Amino acid sequence: MFPDNLTFSIAGWVNEGVDALVSNYGDVFRHISDSLLWAIVNLENLLRLTPWWLMLAIVGVIAWHATRKVVSTLLIVGLLFLVGAVGLWDKLMQTLALMMVATVISVLLGIPLGILAARSNRLRSVLMPLLDIMQTMPSFVYLIPVLMLFGLGKVPAIFATVIYAVPPLIRLTDLGLRQVDREVMEAINAFGATPMQQLFGVQLPLAMPSIMAGVNQTTMMALSMVVIASMIGARGLGEDVLVGIQTLNVGKGLEAGLAIVILAVVIDRITQAYGRPRHREQK
């Protein structure tokens, strides 16, 4: 047994802190939440109002632009058509909207943080343990307080998704920049490139495959949070998975689960294709 006089608990202190935060500053947080919500709702409505055939055509064009392969493009469009065919189109669009907003926020946060971490060893040594916490802390631990501050539904779902999905992007951006050849850097230094020129002209382009792998990982992890998001009232495919589990309707759960997989595969193939060095010269 661990001696009693050496034990202590931070539980009471944390509970009081959260209570005070909600009672005193809850309304401020709700205002922030409402503006973010406005963006999500509009994007969602746009996606849901787009006719399904137009949506498939747009995805087809993007897929063709990314992969330049007829078979892959047809496969991607065909898989999405299948999701619509089992009656999950509307939920697919809701999930897609949620995921796109989460990914955009992750990219806006992750790439600059990754660049800073690559430049400063001190920042990196602080950031890395933080990223470990973000990736391993069970999400319900911070979900409930976030939910009390930002309200039920899409906004806390996005927060949770960003917290979980941004670490790989930061890590891979940092890694990609650090792996740029030292001799290349010496050479451009010798040519008198400014720090900005170094970064945007040389480092970022060379690190691009690694960064795109990070973006890819971020979208994948964002998708894996879909079910957790539905546990705090966000609509979409996760909701169907949850109902499937809770009512022992295995078939329904599997349908929605497969739809999530399809969405993941589609996004994965497209982002990976963009991450690969271009073959434009091959004519």
Partner 1 sequence: MVNLKKWLGGPLLAYALVTQSVMADQKAPVHFADLTWESGSLITEVLRLITEKGYDVPTDTLPGSTVSLEAALAKNDIQVIGEEWAGRSPVWIKAEAEGKVQGLGDIVKNASEGWWVPEYVIKGDPEKGIKALAPDLKSVNDLARYKDVFRDQEDPSRGRFLNSPTGWTSETVNSQKLKAYGLDKDFVNFRTGSGAALDAEVSSSIKRGKPVLFYYWSPTPLIGRYKLIRLEEPAFDAEAWKTLTDVNNPNPKGTRSLPAKLAVGVSAPFSKQYPQLVEFYQKVDFPIDLLNTTLAQMSETRTEPRKAAQAFLREQPQIWHAWVTPEAAAKVDAALKAN
State the residues that interact with partner 1 by CB under 8 A: 11-12, 15, 19, 22-23, 26-27, 30, 33-34, 37, 41, 140, 144, 147-149, 151-154, 230-234, 239, 242-243, 245-247
Q: How far is the CB of 44 from partner 1 (least distance, A)?
A: 9
Q: How far is the CB of 237 from partner 1 (least distance, A)?
A: 13
Question: Are 225 and 165 a contacting pair, CB within 8 Å?
Answer: yes
Name which of 79 and 160 has its Cβ closer to partner 1.
Answer: 160
Name which of 35 and 136 has its Cβ closer to partner 1.
Answer: 35
Name which of 220 and 245 has its Cβ closer to partner 1.
Answer: 245
CA–CA dist 137, 199 (Å, integer): 33
Q: How far is the CB of 238 from partner 1 (least distance, A)?
A: 9
The helix/strand/coil state of 97 is helix
Q: How far is the CB of 54 from partner 1 (least distance, A)?
A: 24
The label of the residue with tokens 């922030």 reads 32
Name which of 83 and 229 has its Cβ closer to partner 1.
Answer: 229
CA–CA dist 101, 170 (Å, integer): 18
Question: Are 86 and 255 a contacting pair, CB within 8 Å?
Answer: yes
Tokens of 224: 């894996």
Q: How far is the CB of 155 from partner 1 (least distance, A)?
A: 9
Burial class (CB within 10 angstroms; exposed 0-12, middle 13-18, buried 19+) of 167: buried
Name which of 26 and 201 has its Cβ closer to partner 1.
Answer: 26
Q: How far is the CB of 16 from partner 1 (least distance, A)?
A: 11
Name which of 115 and 149 has its Cβ closer to partner 1.
Answer: 149
Cα 93 to chain center, whole Å? 16
Enumerate residues 6+ apart whose C-beta is below 8 A from 255: 86, 88, 240, 244
